[in-house]
Amino acid sequence: MPDTKISDLTAVTSLDGTEELPIVQSASTMKVTTQQLGGTVLYNDVVNDTVTSATGTMETFDLGSTVSVPTMAIGDRIEVEMHFKTITAPASNGFGLYFLWHNIKYTPPSASTPTYGNSFIQMPNGKESSSLNITITRISSTDIFVQYEQKLNTLTVPNAGDAYFNGGSWQYQDTLDTDTATRFEVQAFVSAGGELELEYLYIKHTK
């Protein structure tokens, strides 16, 4: 085995983050996991799930599998990328987009009320699609820092008051006990008569 060339080794088809590699740090040979180097992808798939509402309700997208929440040490990050598409525009108000931690210390959302400790962004009426990037960083044993950026595409004339939603970034700090979370979910508040599709979702945990 010591004489085998790297080019002759069997190729790895996938990584789970536990694989160990040697590195040199401060003149000492040490080990590092693949998760520490590049993070662990928790979800990376085309979703193509559509939610609709006749009255205006909070709806949960079907991701096809449970996306478990990892243990987050201080400095850990969760990186999220989501793409939404309007199938049927609602009569008014647009959509509310939520990336949330299920089963934490909050009351589940009602109507368009944002959930405690979760990312909420508005997708105004008249927008055909939304690309949303979120970075969630554990900054202490109790707090997280959330940064998110939204890019919108418009094929129809937007409402005059929606002009400032053509793109932007925001950030906030919140108290959140992620250790009690069981899974990630993606929800949308669908205004009456609206139909919204979650096209793609990517979630990555980086130490």
Query: Assign residue 166 a region: left if phi > 0, alpha if psi is -120 to 50, beta otherwise?
Result: alpha
pLDDT per residue as tens digits for the range 69-127? 888 889 999 999 999 999 998 887 788 887 877 654 434 444 444 443 455 677 877 77
Does pLDDT of 21 surpass 90? no
Q: What is the pTM of this model?
A: 0.75
In a domain, 199, yes or no: yes
Backbone angles phi, psi at 157, to 5 degrees: -70, 120
Backbone angles phi, psi at 162, to 5 degrees: -95, 0
Q: What is the CATH number of the domain that holds 55?
A: 2.60.120
In a domain, 8, yes or no: no
Query: Assign residue 89 a region: left if phi > 0, alpha if psi is -120 to 50, beta otherwise?
Result: beta
pLDDT for residue 110: 45
Range of the domain at 75: 39-206
- 8 Å CB contact between 32 and 21: yes
The total of structural domains in the chain comes to 1
